[in-house]
Chains A and B, each alone.
Chain A
């Protein structure tokens, strides 16, 4: 089934998205953030915490200070490695403990610093590449099964309980497991450390928690003879660091949006734009699929009205991802089934929007989010709404399918809720597997006209954003009806201008990918 849509408008929408992203990219290339520099340190194996649980990457960067950091953390690590002959982790530890003054690094010739760090950079890249290649081998040996890939969330706060729930969900048919983060982690300016058993509304994202979950899912993948993917969140103030540790622990997907933190978490926009760019460069190299957060436009406002904003945001997210070197196959653009169940023909509108995204982004692994806003304590009605969401997803060929829970409005899912939800999805998707390929849309019918309207309005919105400039547009409430000033929001103090001679060896190594996309 294909909608008749105007390809000329689509092409022009992409041109506008590029015009919107270009000046932002110029800004990104002249700046860096504390989170980018800490991610660089982590890729150089600067890992661990002090006795107060403060990560070594944070401690080191604080010692480097706000003026010196403008050369990049790698420049200072390289100089110290050259000067002492020790590893980046060792010198960072010595600096953090106050035993090695950062001044030791002053005056080390740039070339010596770079040469000394080069084997460590190479090793960091090799570690990431090894995990990526390992994933490819596993996927070849243990195929995941057909899309839409069934994705469920675990969120107990305790990584060991999450592990039990994740294994049970995989056995019940889940193909992707996401560990929801503790509420509030997005606003922490450091990555917590070690295995954690306390969290609210979710479980802290830590490298050790990633490792524990990956190990459990690898074991269940072998047992079920299908690879079960693991997802977490590269969002908030530590976006690039999460991308770095996720790459090292072979996560398969990361929620990673170019604007979500700005609009919905009041994180400084400059910080977010810079952080998302480096995160996505790492994700591209690590083979990690990103999931963008367009569903959030719909949960906070009317879904019918916001449909053009979703499509406009998809174009912008695609453009930023391409500019960071991501191929289409790794760009999981988001959408959600959030139309008011009381609206006549609401299902038709949902199909129109989902099919429109499918046709405009044919190679993208689209991420389809379940109803949440209109879910109530009536679990029976909720189960029914989820069934129509499941039908929309399989009909329109969505790729990543976040299974809706009948108890969505009540509690973080019980083990039994997940099983019921997966059963619902498996039933609908199996019984209607090839339905979409067997039917067509009535020319100029309700669905087709709706899709054309959404596309036209998204194009008009992109035109307005392009003429205002993205940062001004965000301040002027073009997105989600919230205003965020360019210098407001959390984490602004962690943004800085690069000094002449700034060095980020990973950006340097991964930059050529940018021109290869899509």
Chain B
């Protein structure tokens, strides 16, 4: 697929999008017009306010359809993907044959984040969507440190337990706390001289591989990640590091 593309409504090139938003004004017909003008100012054309109504004292909600004039060339975007898919058995076999010892993985929700749902889905024996968690792998030794682990604790644990891969999870993203915590972890590992000895992996619903690599991580895993995606990445990357 190459060339410029736009959102598709019912005709190629119509550029149709739907928007919904709240404005901090009491609803009236002129509030609808304010919403329309706002969307025009965003650069859209054919702006239709499909719905406008009062949702609270001094607040109105709008549903708007509009056309965008801009395009993007999708063929120029190389989506970085972290690893190719493998089964648990294949991953265990790769570790046995190429690494020759158990891989040690530590996972934690760092900072004040208490939402372990992501890290648990990846590490717990049970796994997620029928894909077993890393605890189930014969060739992985996993340590789930749980929630609210400071970056200092995690780095100390890494050092004391000869960890090969760190999984840092962040669910709460309010006011950029996730980025701050991820960055702090990377910096402390650098400062301790451990960065090159471990695979550093970020995870969370708002994490992308692109974001993680920008932060200096080896990989990032976002929503819909299966435990075997993470395990395959760890095994493949560590295997690459073993001299042939």
Contacts and interface: CB of A to CB of B under 8 A. Distances in A.
A171 B56 contact: yes
Interface in B107-135: 112-117, 120, 124, 126
A187 B109 CA distance: 14
A376 B113 contact: no
Interface string A148-173: 00000000010000000001110110
Contact of A373 (B22, B117, B146): B117
B22 A415 contact: yes
A481 B57 CA distance: 46
Main SS class of interface, A:
loop
Task: Name, among B59, B115, B126, B146, the residue most crowded by chain A CB atoms within 10 Å (CB to CB).
Answer: B59
A419 B61 CA distance: 9
Contacts of B205: 377, 409-410
A376 B57 CA distance: 30
A184 interface: yes
B59 A168 contact: yes
Contacts of B17: none
Contact of A265 (B114, B174, B224): B114
Given A183-B172, A187-B148, A415 B114 contact: no
A416 B112 contact: no
B114 A183 contact: yes
Nearest to B146: A266
Contact of A172 (B20, B56, B113, B175): B56
A13 B188 CA distance: 52
Given A157-B174, A200-B177, A168 B57 contact: yes
Interface of B: 20-22, 55-59, 61, 112-117, 120, 124, 126, 146-148, 172-175, 177, 205, 223-224
A300 B61 contact: no
A157 B112 contact: no
A412 interface: yes
A301 B126 contact: yes
Contacts of A345: none
A182 B111 CA distance: 12
A410 B115 CA distance: 14
Given A299-B117, A302-B126, A415 B112 contact: no
Interface residues of A, number: 32
A200 B120 CA distance: 21
Contacts of B175: 157, 200
30 contacts: A157-B174, A157-B175, A168-B55, A168-B59, A169-B56, A171-B57, A172-B55, A183-B112, A183-B113, A183-B114, A183-B115, A186-B114, A200-B175, A201-B112, A201-B174, A265-B114, A266-B146, A299-B117, A300-B117, A300-B120, A377-B223, A414-B22, A416-B20, A416-B21, A416-B59, A416-B61, A419-B22, A419-B55, A419-B59, A481-B124
A376 B56 CA distance: 27
B22 A184 contact: no
A184 B110 CA distance: 11
Contact of A167 (B57, B126, B174): B57
